[in-house]
C-alpha cells in the first residue's frame, strides 16, 4: 500500500467481514475490498481508492438486507407499488447508507485506522446524475420513505450515462458539459445479467386470422437491469431502484459489413441503443430529438411493465393459477408526471396481444392498476406528442390510444350530453390539421384510477381549472398529496450540529422518523441557552458554506452577513430575475449612500444557483446577468463590505446539502399559481431558514404551519393573476419607479457591455410573444422590495430572528416525505407495511 493512508492500511489485515459492526473488522473488510476486489493498480490506497473500497464494504451489509427483503416480499406476496419516473436525483449515497444502517461512527473509526478521514472520503463520491430538479429529488425522497416505512415498493428509472449536464460558468455565461459520474463506475449498482427484456420500436401491426393483433418488425433493443439498493432508516428493509440500460446483442453486430470496412453501419443498432440512455432530456427541436425522447419514455415503460408482469406470473405459478383480474390487487403503478404515460397503452398491449385478454378485461386491469401524479399547470410542460411521430415509432400503441379516445367520446356522449361542447379539449387526440397531437395528461386522467396534485393550492387549481371538466365526470378521482422531503438526508445527515441540539433538547432521536415531534421545540423558542446553541450550530454551517463558496468561486463571503439563497432550476416563472433586479436596486442605493449611512444597513450575501436548460435562452441570460452583477459588486470596495453577489455553479444535491443548512433567508418567489409545490422551500424551513415568498405551491402550507408572522410574504395571489395580466394587456399597468431604475441601471452598461435588452424586453410592452411581463415581475417588484426591507429590519434583532428560525424548524413536521408516502400507501395504492423480521 502506498502514500496517504498506505502505511496505516498495511497494519490492517485484509480479511472479509461483510456484516461486522466493529471498527477494526470494518477496517479489515475495507482493506479486503481494496485488495481482492480491485479496480486500480495495486499498492494504491489514496482517498479515491479508499472511497470505492469503503462503499463496497457498506454495500456488503446492504446486499444481505436487500436479499432478505426480496425473499420476504416473495414469501408474503403483498400488493406492491412500482414507482415510474424519468428522473431520480439521488445525490451521494455513502453518508446516507451508513447513516441509515446506523454505523457511521464505526465507519469513521475504521477509516481512521486506515489513515483516512470519513469526511474526506465522502467527498470523493460523485452525485448520481439521474435527474434535473424537484421532480427527480422528490422521487428519491419517496424511495427513502418507502424503505423507512417498510413498504413493499420499487422504483423504476433509466441509467443515464451523461445525466442532464454539468454546469460551468465562463465569460459567456453557462456552458454545458457531460456529467462524468459513470466515467469510472458506480460502486452502488449491481447489474442483473439475468434480467433482460426486449423493447421494440417502429415496425407494423399484423392482424391474425382470429382478429388478434401483433406488433412486429422494426428494431428491437434489449433492456438490461441495474439495481441500486435503497436502505430504510434503522430498519432491515432495503428496497430497489431498478435502472434500465439499453443494449444491442452480439447477433445485431454485422460482422460481414465490418470486415468489408463498413464500420458504422455494422454497429448501427448498437449505437442507436446507446443513444437511449445517454442523456436526460435530449434537445427535442428536431424530429430525431423528439423520436429519441419518445424512445426513452417508451423504453422505461415497456421494460418496467414486462418486469412487473413477469414477477406477477412467477408468484402466480407458486400459488396455483391466478386470474388476471387479481393483478390490481397485487400491483400498483404510479406515474410520476406525464413522462411515463405510455405505460397505459403498453400495459393494454401486453395484456391483450401477449396474454390474450379481451379489451374490456385489459381495460379493467389497467385502470385499476395505474395512478397519475400531476406536477405542473404550465401549458408548455403538459406533454403533447405529434401523432405522425407516434404512429411511426409506436403503431400498435396509437391504435390502442385511438380506441381509448373513441370509447371516452362514447362515454361522454352517452352519459353527459351537457359536456359535448367540451369534448374537443377533453379528448385525448387533438386532430388539429396543422398539428395533430396526443395529449398525454388527458390520456392519464381518462385512464388512471386516481389523479393527484402535489400541494393543496396546486390540487385546488387542477380541480377548478386544468381538469375541471373531468372532475364533473369523476368527482372522486382527484386527490391532494402535499409533497415532502426525507428528514434523514435533509437534516439528520446534512446538519449534524443542529440535529444533535434538537435531539438533546427533545430528549429523543424519534423526530428523525416522526417529524411532528419537532413541534416540541416551540417550548424552547425563547430559551436563551437554547437560542445560543442554535446560533452556534447555524454559524458552524455558515462557515462551512463560506469555505465552500471560496473553494468553488474564489469569492470570500462574510459569515456575519445575512446569507440569502435562491437555488432551483433557472426559469422565468421562478423569477430569479426579480431577485437579481432587487439586488441591483440595493447595490445602486448603497452606491449613493455616505459611508455612515452604509454602516446602518444590514450586510447581505446573495447567492443564486441552478441550471438553465441548454436551449432556454432567457434563462441563460439570467445566469449571465447574475454573474456579471457579482463581478462588479464583489470588486467594488465601497460596497462589498455590505453586499456580495455569488452565482453558485453546478447546483446539485451535494451542493444543496451545504447551502441549505448555512442559509438564513431563502427566496421562493414564483408567480402565484405557477409552482406546483416546491420542495426546497421545505428543506430550508426544516433547517431553520426563513422564507421570503409568494402564496404559491407549498409556501401556502408552510406559512400556515410555522405561523404567518415567521414568513415574509409579498406579491399577487393566484386568483388575482389572470386579471392583472388582462389589465396589463389593456395598458393599465403603472410601473414602480424603483423597478424602472433597476432596469435602467442594467441598460446603462453598469454591469458590462453584454446586451441585456432581449431579456429586459420580456418585461416591456403590454402583449405579444415573450413580452408584456407574463410573470408579473414588475407588478410584484414594489411589494417584494417592501418585504426585503422587513427582512433587513428583522435581522437586526438577532434574538427575534433566532426565535423565528427555531419556530420555522418546529413547524416543519408536516413536510416529511414519510407523511406523504403513508398517505399515498393508504389512499391511492392500498398497500401495507411488510417488515423484514
Rounded average pLDDT over 322-343: 96
**Overall size of the chain counted in residues:** 837
Q: Per-residue pLDDT for 379 more than 90?
A: no
Rounded average pLDDT over 623-647: 98
Q: What pLDDT, in 10s, does the model give residues 762-784? A: 999 988 788 999 999 999 999 99
Pair 545, 646 in one domain? yes
Residue 526 domain-assigned (yes or no): no
Rounded average pLDDT over 262-287: 93
Pair 241, 386 in one domain? yes
- Among all chains, which residue has been given the C-alpha cell 410592452? 765
Q: Per-residue pLDDT for 549 more than 50?
A: yes
Residue 666 domain-assigned (yes or no): yes
Distance CA 207, CA 396 (A): 11
- Among all chains, which residue has been given the C-alpha cell 432551483? 568
Mark whether 488 is an active-site residue: no
Grid coordinates representing 425 are 379539449
Q: Is 555 helix (H, G, I), strand (E, B) or coil?
A: coil
Rounded average pLDDT over 260-283: 94
- To the question of pTM greater than 0.95 for the whole model, the response is yes
Pair 548, 459 in one domain? no
Pair 464, 536 in one domain? no
Mark whether 799 is an active-site residue: no
Q: Which ranges of 511-645 does DSSP label H, i.e. alpha helix?
A: 528-553, 576-592, 595-599, 617-634
Residue 518 domain-assigned (yes or no): no
| Closest of 371, 190, 425, 501 to residue 825, by C-alpha | 371
Grid coordinates representing 724 are 392583472
Pair 23, 103 in one domain? yes
Pair 50, 179 in one domain? no
| Closest of 724, 677, 667, 680 to residue 701, by C-alpha | 677
Mark whether 589 is an active-site residue: no
Pair 86, 102 in one domain? no
| Catalytic choice (575, 644, 683, 814) | 683
Grid coordinates representing 443 are 390520456
Residue 372 domain-assigned (yes or no): yes
Least confident piece of the model among 36-50, 105-119, 402-416: 36-50
Give the pLDDT confidence score for residue 319 in this predicted structure.
60
Residue 797 domain-assigned (yes or no): yes
| Catalytic choice (161, 242, 568, 611) | 568
Residue 524 domain-assigned (yes or no): no
Pair 120, 181 in one domain? no
Q: What pLDDT, in 10s, does the model give residues 640-686? A: 999 999 999 999 999 999 999 999 999 999 999 999 999 999 999 99
Pair 136, 69 in one domain? no
Please compute, for residue 607, the number of CA atoms within 13 A of its CA located in the half-sphere on the CB side: 35
Residue 489 domain-assigned (yes or no): no
| Catalytic choice (293, 397, 569, 703) | 569
Pair 113, 157 in one domain? no
Q: Per-residue pLDDT for 44 more than 90?
A: no
| Catalytic choice (61, 113, 481, 574) | 574
Pair 543, 560 in one domain? yes
Domain limits for position 334: 77-91+127-314+325-483+822-828
For the chain, the domain total comes to 3
Give the pLDDT confidence score for residue 320 in this predicted structure.
57
Q: Over the chain, what is the mean pLDDT?
A: 96
Distance CA 543, CA 538 (A): 9
| Catalytic choice (61, 159, 166, 375) | 375
Mark whether 753 is an active-site residue: no
316 pLDDT band, cuts 50/70/90, is confident
Residue 144 domain-assigned (yes or no): yes
% of the chain residues with pLDDT over 90: 94
Give the pLDDT confidence score for residue 4 in this predicted structure.
47
Mark whether 569 is an active-site residue: yes
Pair 137, 110 in one domain? no
CATH of the domain at 638: 3.40.50.2000
Mark whether 679 is an active-site residue: yes
Amino acid at each position: 500500500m502506498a502514500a496517504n493512508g498506505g502505511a496505516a492500511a498495511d497494519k490492517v489485515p485484509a480479511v472479509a467481514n461483510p456484516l461486522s459492526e466493529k471498527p477494526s473488522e470494518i477496517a479489515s473488510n475495507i482493506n479486503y475490498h481494496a485488495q481482492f476486489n480491485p479496480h486500480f493498480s495495486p499498492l494504491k490506497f489514496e482517498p479515491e481508492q479508499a472511497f470505492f473500497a469503503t462503499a463496497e464494504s457498506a454495500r456488503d451489509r446492504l446486499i444481505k438486507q436487500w436479499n432478505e427483503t426480496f425473499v420476504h416480499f416473495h414469501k408474503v406476496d403483498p400488493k406492491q407499488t412500482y414507482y415510474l419516473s424519468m428522473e431520480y436525483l439521488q445525490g451521494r449515497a455513502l453518508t446516507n447508507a451508513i447513516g441509515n444502517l446506523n454505523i457511521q461512527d464505526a465507519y469513521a473509526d475504521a477509516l481512521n485506522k486506515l489513515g483516512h478521514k470519513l469526511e474526506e472520503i465522502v467527498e470523493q463520491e460523485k452525485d448520481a446524475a439521474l435527474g434535473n430538479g424537484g421532480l427527480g429529488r422528490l422521487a428519491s425522497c419517496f424511495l427513502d420513505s418507502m424503505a423507512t416505512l417498510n413498504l413493499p415498493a420499487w422504483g423504476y428509472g433509466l441509467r443515464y450515462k451523461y445525466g442532464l449536464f454539468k454546469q460551468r460558468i465562463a465569460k459567456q455565461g453557462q456552458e454545458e458539459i457531460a456529467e462524468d459520474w459513470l466515467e469510472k463506475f458506480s460502486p452502488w449498482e449491481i447489474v442483473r445479467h439475468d434480467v433482460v427484456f426486449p423493447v421494440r420500436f417502429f415496425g407494423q401491426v399484423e392482424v391474425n386470422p382470429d382478429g388478434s393483433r401483433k406488433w412486429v418488425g422494426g428494431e428491437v433493443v434489449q433492456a438490461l437491469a441495474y439495481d441500486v439498493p435503497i436502505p430504510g432508516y434503522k430498519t432491515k428493509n432495503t428496497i430497489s431502484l431498478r435502472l434500465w440500460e439499453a443494449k444491442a446483442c452480439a447477433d445485431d453486430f454485422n460482422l460481414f459489413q465490418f470486415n468489408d470496412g463498413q464500420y458504422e453501419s455494422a454497429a448501427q443498432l448498437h449505437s442507436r441503443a446507446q443513444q437511449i440512455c445517454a442523456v436526460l432530456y435530449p434537445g427535442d427541436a428536431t424530429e430525431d430529438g423528439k423520436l429519441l425522447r419518445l424512445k426513452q419514455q417508451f423504453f422505461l415503460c415497456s421494460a418496467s411493465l414486462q418486469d412487473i408482469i413477469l414477477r406477477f406470473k412467477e408468484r402466480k405459478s407458486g400459488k396455483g393459477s391466478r386470474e388476471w383480474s387479481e393483478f390490481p390487487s397485487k400491483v400498483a403503478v404510479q406515474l410520476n408526471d406525464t413522462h411515463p404515460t405510455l405505460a397505459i397503452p403498453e400495459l393494454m398491449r401486453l395484456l391483450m396481444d401477449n396474454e390474450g385478454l379481451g379489451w374490456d378485461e385489459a381495460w379493467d386491469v389497467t385502470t385499476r392498476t395505474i395512478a397519475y401524479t400531476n406536477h405542473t399547470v404550465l401549458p408548455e410542460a403538459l406533454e403533447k406528442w405529434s401523432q405522425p411521430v407516434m404512429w411511426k415509432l409506436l403503431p400498435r400503441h396509437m391504435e390502442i390510444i385511438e380506441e381509448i379516445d373513441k370509447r371516452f367520446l362514447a362515454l361522454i356522449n352517452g352519459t353527459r350530453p351537457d359536456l359535448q361542447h367540451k369534448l374537443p379539449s377533453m379528448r385525448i387526440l387533438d386532430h388539429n390539421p396543422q398539428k395533430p397531437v396526443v395529449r398525454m395528461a388527458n390520456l392519464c386522467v381518462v385512464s388512471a384510477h386516481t389523479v393527484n396534485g402535489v400541494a393543496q393550492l396546486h390540487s385546488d387549481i387542477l380541480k377548478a381549472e386544468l381538469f375541471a371538466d373531468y372532475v364533473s365526470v369523476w368527482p372522486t378521482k382527484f386527490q391532494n398529496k402535499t409533497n415532502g422531503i426525507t428528514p434523514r438526508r435533509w437534516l439528520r445527515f446534512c446538519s449534524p450540529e443542529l440535529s444533535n441540539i434538537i435531539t438533546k433538547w427533545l430528549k429523543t432521536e424519534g423526530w428523525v422518523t416522526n417529524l411532528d415531534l419537532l413541534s416540541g421545540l416551540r417550548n424552547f423558542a425563547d430559551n436563551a441557552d437554547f437560542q445560543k446553541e442554535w446560533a452556534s450550530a447555524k454559524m458552524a454551517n455558515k462557515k462551512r458554506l463560506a469555505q465552500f463558496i471560496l473553494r468553488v468561486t474564489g469569492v470570500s463571503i462574510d459569515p456575519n452577513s445575512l446569507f440569502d439563497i435562491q437555488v432551483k432550476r433557472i426559469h422565468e416563472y421562478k423569477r430569479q430575475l426579480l431577485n437579481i433586479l432587487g439586488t441591483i436596486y440595493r447595490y445602486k442605493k448603497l452606491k449613493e449612500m455616505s459611508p455612515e449611512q452604509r454602516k446602518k444597513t444590514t450586510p447581505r450575501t446573495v447567492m443564486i444557483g441552478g441550471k438553465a436548460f441548454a436551449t432556454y435562452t432567457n434563462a441563460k441570460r439570467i445566469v449571465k446577468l447574475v454573474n456579471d452583477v457579482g463581478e462588479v459588486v464583489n470588486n467594488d470596495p465601497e460596497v462589498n463590505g455590505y453586499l456580495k453577489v455569488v452565482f453558485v455553479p453546478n447546483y446539485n444535491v451535494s451542493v444543496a446539502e451545504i447551502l441549505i443548512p448555512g442559509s438564513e433567508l431563502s427566496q421562493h418567489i414564483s408567480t402565484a399559481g405557477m409552482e406546483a409545490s416546491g420542495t426546497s422551500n421545505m428543506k430550508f424551513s426544516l433547517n431553520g431558514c426563513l422564507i421570503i415568498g409568494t402564496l404559491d405551491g407549498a409556501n401556502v402550507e408552510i406559512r400556515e404551519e410555522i405561523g404567518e408572522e415567521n414568513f415574509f410574504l409579498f406579491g399577487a395571489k393566484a386568483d388575482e393573476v389572470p386579471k392583472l395580466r388582462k389589465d396589463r394587456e389593456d395598458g393599465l399597468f403603472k410601473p414602480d419607479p424603483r423597478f424602472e431604475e433597476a432596469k435602467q441601471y442594467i441598460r446603462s452598461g453598469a454591469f458590462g457591455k453584454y446586451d441585456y435588452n432581449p431579456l429586459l424586453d420580456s418585461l416591456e410592452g403590454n402583449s405579444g410573444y415573450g413580452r408584456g411581463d407574463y410573470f408579473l415581475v414588475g407588478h410584484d417588484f414594489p411589494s417584494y422590495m417592501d418585504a426585503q426591507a422587513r427582512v433587513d429590519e428583522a435581522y437586526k434583532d438577532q434574538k427575534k430572528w433566532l426565535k423565528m428560525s427555531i419556530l420555522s424548524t418546529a413547524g416543519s413536521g408536516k413536510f416529511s416525505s414519510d407523511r406523504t408516502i403513508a398517505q399515498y400507501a393508504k389512499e391511492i395504492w392500498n398497500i401495507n407495511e411488510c417488515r423484514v423480521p
